[in-house]
Amino acid sequence: MIHSVKHSPAPLAASAEHQHLLRLKSPSLNPTSVSLLRTANRRSSSSSSSSLSCKPLHLKQFGFGSGSDRRPRRTAEAPSAYEADRTTEGGVEAGSEAARRLKIGVYFATWWALNVVFNIYNKKVLNAFPYPWLTSTLSLACGSLMMLVSWATRLAEVPKTDPGFWKALAPVAVAHTIGHVAATVSMSKVAVSFTHIIKSGEPAFSVLVSRFLLGETFPVQVYLSLLPIIGGCALAAVTELNFNMTGFMGAMISNIAFVFRNIFSKKGMKGKSVSGMNYYACLSMLSLLILTPFAIAVEGPQMWAAGWEKAISQIGPHFIWWVAAQSVFYHLYNQVSYMSLDEISPLTFSIGNTMKRISVIVSSIIIFHTPVQPVNALGAAIAILGTFLYSQAKQ
């Protein structure tokens, strides 16, 4: 009864009033009636107490209690932490991609600058010493010697090669040798600017070779971008003042050979522990072995000796510096280009190789005072524009 009074005073009061009225109306109430009345009062009190004791559980179950309000919700914190992790990972990836692009940009700028210097000294040598086979051989010999010294003095890590490596390198060396000699023959016959205008059509050969020999497909925009490249090169060739068929064919053969070299190089470098720098060093040595007997057969030591004496008498000791400079810079610019090839595809390599020709063409025209007709300049500009459109379509 104490529990009933404490939690439910209203039912008790009603029960007491009802009992008092009964007593007034029936003073002669028998003991049995009194017992039934007390039992009813106890049931009423018990029912009221039970309903009150269930209310806090009912409120807590639906989250209206004070304990539920104070408890922190884990579902509100988890998404925030997850998003923070994703943001951090995204920032790291963006930073690494930016560093990679900067690295490639530095490689490209160095590659282009070294190539300009090489072309200037190479043309000076060929003007005074018109023996492109020997000049090409000296370039490969100088690079091979530089790398042997670097390996011997531990300035560069000695590559770990096996017979399989040299077997895969053989077709690359053949293509590199043909392209190198063909380009040198072209520059010995025509202006540097004309050779590089024709060689700016290399992306067209790259796409055609990749499409018909490797089975790769490209968007329609890529094929359409080749039209101004081919048209511009053709216009520049037709309007060239000092056109020479040997020079023109040398540049065309060089285009085809270097496309195969780039494709074979990218395939040969996959899965190999040899870096781009050492890869080109091995390529130079193997190309030197291939080229030397052909250079002796085509030109020969007697012609070289006579041409050397004539060049020294006309130019003086500076001619020796020219030969050394063109050989060193040839190796350096190719070495950097192969370091770039570690990071990019063969097609992107061809784009970079074409864009560098802008600086080579302009610098050679200025230094050698090459006469250029407006139509010839228009053809070169169209070819370069086509290369830009090609790079955009490829992206």
pLDDT at residue 17 greater than cutoff 60: no
Structure confidence by residue, pLDDT tens digits, 187-223:
999 999 999 889 888 888 888 888 888 788 888 998 8
How is 196-254 classified by DSSP, letter by letter? HHHHTTHHHHHHHHHHHTS-----HHHHHHHHHHHHHHHHHHHT-TT--HHHHHHHHHH
What would the mean pLDDT of 152-158 be, rounded to a whole number? 91
Q: How far apart are alpha carbons 363 and 190 in whole angstroms? A: 16
Average model confidence (pLDDT) across the chain: 78
Structure confidence by residue, pLDDT tens digits, 319-342:
999 999 999 999 998 888 877 766
Q: How confident is the model at residue 262 (pLDDT cuts 50, 70, 90)?
A: confident
- Other Cβ atoms less than 10 A from the Cβ of 335: the count is 23
Range scoring the smallest mean pLDDT among 52-56, 254-258, 305-309, 312-316: 52-56
pLDDT at 350: 63
pLDDT at 3: 45
What would the mean pLDDT of 377-395 be, rounded to a whole number? 83
pTM for the complete prediction? Answer: 0.70
Q: How confident is the model at residue 351 (pLDDT cuts 50, 70, 90)?
A: low
Instruction: Pick 27 or 100 by higher pLDDT.
Output: 100
Q: How far apart are alpha carbons 195 and 357 in whole angstroms? A: 10
- In single-letter form, the type of residue at position 286 comes to L
What would the mean pLDDT of 222-249 be, rounded to a whole number? 89
Q: In Å, how far from its chain's centre is CA 13?
A: 89
Instruction: Pick 384 or 95 by higher pLDDT.
Output: 384
The 8-class DSSP code of residue 64 comes to -
What would the mean pLDDT of 245-250 be, rounded to a whole number? 94
- Which residue do the tokens 């195969």 mark? 260
What would the mean pLDDT of 13-39 be, rounded to a whole number? 47
Which pair of tokens denotes residue 222?
């890529």
The 8-class DSSP code of residue 73 comes to P
Instruction: Give the whole-number percent of the chain exceeding pLDDT 70.
Output: 71
pLDDT at 192: 92
- Which uninterrupted H or E stretch holds 262? helix 245-269
pLDDT at 269: 59
